[in-house]
Structure 1
Amino acid sequence: MAPFKLDNQHPGLAKIRGPLRLTWAGMWAESLVRALWPMLTVALLVLAALMLGLQDVVALDVVYGAAVVAFVAACAALVYPFRNFDVPTRAEALARLDASLPGRPIQALMDDQAIGAGDAASMAVWQAHQKRMVDRAATARAVPADLRVSRRDPYALRYVALLFFAVALVFGSVLRVGSVAGMVPGAGGLASGPVWEGWAEPPRYTGKPTLYLADLEDGQVSLPKGTLITVRLYGEVGALEVDETVSGLGRPADAEPALVLDFKVNQSGEIIIAGPGGRSWDVAMLPDAAPRVEIAGDPQVAALGEMSLPFAASDDYGVEAGEARISLDLASVDRRYGLAIEPEARPDVIVPLTMPIAGGRRSFEENLIEDFSKHPWANLPVKISLSVLDASEQQFTAAPSDMILPGRRFFDPLAAAVIEQRRDLLWSKANAPRLVQLLKAVSYRPQDVFRTETSALRLRRQIDRLDIRAKYGLTDDLQAEIADDLWDLAIELEEGVLADALERMRRAQERLAEAMKNGASNEEIAELMDELRRATEEYMQQLRRQQAQDGEQQQRQQGETMQMTQDDLQRMMDRIQELMEQGRMAEAEQALRELQEMMENMRVTEGQPGQGGDSPGEQAMEGLADALREQQELSDEAFRDLQEQFNPNGGQEQPGQEGDQQQGQEQGAEQQPGQGGNSIAERQRALRNELNRQEGRLPGEGEAAREALDRAGRAMDEAEQSLRDNELADAIDDQARAMDALREGMRALGDAIAQEQQQQAGQGSAEGNQRADQRDPLGRDQSSNGGESTQGDLALDDDAYGRARELLDEIRRRSGETERPEVERDYLNRLLDRF
């Protein structure tokens, strides 16, 4: 291009020479890009296809057809520039630069004065105008080139070609382009350049990349065991040969030459490609070591029987899965009493090992957490063996270890006796007559051994069932059913069904004392100590509620005798736990007795002189608590009916067995699942009416509670309709919403009652009232609003939170059982998502 020169019409134009040249160069770039983009697109597409080796994986006819299409496209791309290339001129560049400046100063500098050339005033104005244009032109900057061709390429073919070429650069090779030379018709001999290709693809689980053999120089190479070697030969058949000793299979002498060879690396050896351009490698096989696993410590057992067994596993590429196999060590069992006879055959217990969710699996430590308390082998000697598997199906099984299968320990003597007979029943059905006799002896005088009549009746029912059925032989289903009932009875005897907080605290103290006498483990004692803390806290809440019901006079009478802070109580419990951990059980028992006596002396008596009846708000609170309990019972019954719908034959006996009339009636009662829907609906309707009555007893300030009860009523109406339509799953959801609304209403009502009592206690000095509001009978600070804690009202069952955890665990367990119907597991998953 000739040097660009400006006319010397005005000295000011010399200042724009640089921006003008850059603008002109940008216009040339625009013209070239707009004219040559089809040629670049075709070139990138063809080169990318050749680099990826597509010509080697498709039929030869397809290659020829693609070559014709590429040739036509290349011709069109060559014609396109001649028809669309525009040569930019100096004038166009000057005009574009001038258009980028305000007022077009360059054009003004190139103009001449048309009139008034002889007038001094006109000349002065013209010169001033020219000076301003010079200053404005001096600010000129090069105009950027517009390289967009989107209007000429609406389908973005240029970007497709660029992406295709980038993929070829990453996954392809320039050396593959030469293979197309051997496809030319009439080409004789081998084509120049490489005439073979090869890949070494390690197993995916190793995480190692695929190697392109043409990129490897002759010499030694290390490959993992199981690496797949693929070699492709091009040109005349037999011109190249492949010899290898890494597969260990050998090659028959009469085998015909092949153009594609696949084999795996099973041992160290050589790979030789003989012929023009051939290579050879000494392959060192990297062995795949078997995984390893071992028990890393003694099992840790919680008070409720959950076992946590630490283990360590490792593998060179990562452990895929593992399992623990538990078998009964019959030789180590103390064969006395119910264990003297031969046990029934039971399969080994197999549980999967916990694998890490995050991080690698090459070396890790985890814990096997399971609860075997209900298993027949609980608290019996067993052998446990851990095994792991890696991705190459290699398995390692550790040597069996001896241990006592952890299970829940029962400290109540009667509960422990029931559990022992349950174990004997599961040991062998032949123990049934002996079990009946022992249970009859234990329950001969129920008033002396049972705390409640309900527990005695439950045991008597199991004895009668077992006595009747044992005469005709027990089935497996009946054996499991009676064992489950005995387990539930033992839990009831161990933990009790205590609604009163003081009795619950006494029970926790008794269990802790029994545990110390029986030499319980530190973990069990710690768990029972936590239970005692919770029971004591509930008792404190009962004291606070009683104080709120008492008048101010009684508060003053009790103020001097019940001033023990929460810190004092905490220090006493910490002292007891410290003595137990140090092994000083005698001192710990003495301190526990002192704590029990102290708590007994703190009981708040009822019906003292001057104490009136319950207020309407308190009566409404009691009524709502009863409604919540009944709603929970209705929901439990609906859930049991739903289970029976999915498994109607779960509790039936084997046909052909005959019994007396009592047996037939009992079995008939057990085989009526899902038919109590209408009766539950009627009870739901009655509960709805009772809620309306309770709502009318709310005090005037209970507006928030009234709104919550309205929502509970609507949910009860929907639950009733679902029950009548036999839509049990929807009914349970509606009942859950009703219980949530009832709890919210009780919390709101409790706040309203506390606020009313706080206002009534406002007689007297402000300082005295403030102290009375901020201190409970034990001298502790209450909440900021001076009201009672709503947690006591929510604890409507013996252990609401513990029971909720048990329900959630049971729902999770059942949702993971694949043998259950799909609709039942869907419903259980919806329950988990909701709660």
Structure 2
Amino acid sequence: MSSLGDRLAAGQDPMAQALWEAHRRRQSDRLSDLRVRAPEPAMARLDPFGARTVVGLVLVAGLAVAATDPFGRLAEAFQPTLSPLAETPPPTLDVWINPPAYTGRPPMLLARAGQADGPVAAAAADSVPRRLAVPTGATLLARVNGGDAVPNLALATRGGETARPFERVAEKAYQIETAITEGTALAIRQAGDELAAWTINVLPDLKPTVSFAEPPQPTERAALMVHYNASDDYGLAGVEARIRRLESTGEPTAEDPVVLAMALPGNGLEAADAKDFHDLTPHPWAGQPVEMTLVARDEAGQEGHSEPVKLILPERLFNHPVARAIIQQRKRLITEPREKTDIAEVLMSLAARPQHYFDDVVTFLGLRLAAGRLVMNDLAPAMIAEVQSLLWDIALRVEDGEMSLAERELRELERRLMDLLAQDNPDQQELERLMDELKQAIDKYLQAMMEQMQQQLQNGDQQQAQEIDPSQMVERQDLMDMLERAREMMKAGAKDAARQLLSQLREMMENLRAGRPQMMSPEQLAAQEMMRQLQELAERQQQLMDQTYKQHQEGSPRDGRDMGQMGQMPGQPRDGRGMRPGQRPGEQGQMGDGQPRDADRGGRRGQPGTGNDATPEALARMQEQLRRQLGEFMRKLGEGLGQIPQPFGEAERAMKDATDALGRAQPGEAVGPQGDAVERLQDGAQALSEAMRQNQQANGGAAPDPNAQGQSEGDRRQDPLRDRPNQGYAVDESGVEVPAESDLQRARRIFDELRKRSGDRSRPELELDYIERLLKRF
């Protein structure tokens, strides 16, 4: 084949050309007989394992990956670069703002690594930085991970922009912590790039405000009542009253002011509308003109002042001539301290006439001691104060005997108990001890008040033994019931509610005064006896309903884990205040441990007991007996009044339904009718009271007051020991709700159920841990 492409060498010999042509013809004729041999690849010898197929697969995969931008990928292959083979990841941010602890505000998370709102470097360029409200003094904590350069924090203020570098805490980890007191924007930058930015508004900590809700005024026992309003943007730390004595010109003296700490109804309140009571009658300034200013303080130490108020400090009015003379000399130690010798002579002359103060040896020795100290010592302020305190105690002993000592002990216990309840974690044993001592102090004070009233009546002092409205009378049992309710609230963890109830009790004691009730007419006595019988009937029906429900629980296959055990009894009515109808204010059908009172177990007035072992048959007999007593009551009512209010008939029918259900051994079906009977008895009592009032007015007489013990004329269905708005010791008008009896019993049932379940070790560990955390607060 290659001969056909050859050329003749240079030359013009015809013979040679003829021979060359003949040669080419022979080669061309042989070309038609030429055959190609089978291919014999060499790659099989070079690549016996077939690795060349891998190259082909890689080539195909590359073409598939680069299909979206094949030309760009191809161009990058021919463009050299000096960047490292592994790209450095972008920096991440963790940014927090912690408000000051006294604000009570939670921390604010601005950015967090791995979240969309973390580093702003990955955000769109047109994103607007968020506006933040930051309390002044808040702490900014920022951490940057990644990047080679040290980041910095830029804070923009009205005076310009300041930048602070981060602190290196590890390899490529930086951190900064700084307080924010001013500024309009902050940004975090690294190597010229802005990682995050926010617009901020630094909120100033405003001073608290405080003012008098009403002018300070004395109570019935001459204590000073201060009603104030106070508020702060982040919570009040304390309120106090500063009292300065005024000169005759009306200007404050240079003496140190008297500071009275006002009790707050709770901790960290942003607003409070409260009352507080202070006995300043023993103070030497009692009866003197003073100026009082309220001061509110927040956690930051800022103070807010009220407008000053001028007043005369309440003073004790003494009726005994010797006591009045002693107090007069005590006042002279303030206004005429240089006349201490003359004051001592007056005290000696009073001591020389023991027949004028019942020949009391203690009074004699006290007067001689006070006179001797005035004569033998100089005019040191400490000595004057001690003599004034001694003269005050002597005057109280001459005037009241044991009465004033009991009053002082009562006020001191009230103050200590309220201060202890204001603590975050009060000692429960100390609370129980103070509650027991307060109960004894109230008994002692009431006994001393009664003895004083009897002595005044024997002496014919009608001015002191005042006639008071029976509707304003309060029984000792009512006060004891309030104490028991406050004790239950403390056990249930409702400290603020217990403080409010005790504050109401304290105001009642401050306004308590001895007196003799007005004479009641026979009609009033009969009406009061009728209401007493009706109330007793309703209480016994309530007790029977409680026992019926217990019987239903004991026979329930659900082991008591129904809605009744953990909450309100099925079918048990409640009024608007959560009290059971027919229940006396503060009275409990059960003690705090869930057991019935002794009176409940033993019955009343010869009635069979209603213990836990009562069978449905026994309960049916007791229910039928109550129904018959109601029928007898309705018969007498019809004879005396001429009409029977409709609720009594409905109560009688409900009792009959309950008797039928108990007769069928179905206590669960009897609870609902029994609750209806209690509610109808309550409605009947209200209707009966109104009917008596209208009947007496129609006859031209004064309306009888069958509810004279503890209820007011305006709203007889309200409990005056609970529903007393705008009254109490440090009452928060924004609202601490005093739990009703049903709430306390429900809390006690829940607490008992939690203790029961905590002892069941077969329950899951997670549930037991949760129950344990719930029980810790108790």
TM (norm. structure 2) is 0.37
Work out which of the two has the higher radius of gyration on C-alpha atoms and give 1 or 2: 2
Q: Which has the higher helix share?
A: 1
Between 1 and 2, higher relative CO (CA 8 Å, sep ≥ 6) is seen in 2
TM-score calculated relative to the size of structure 1: 0.35
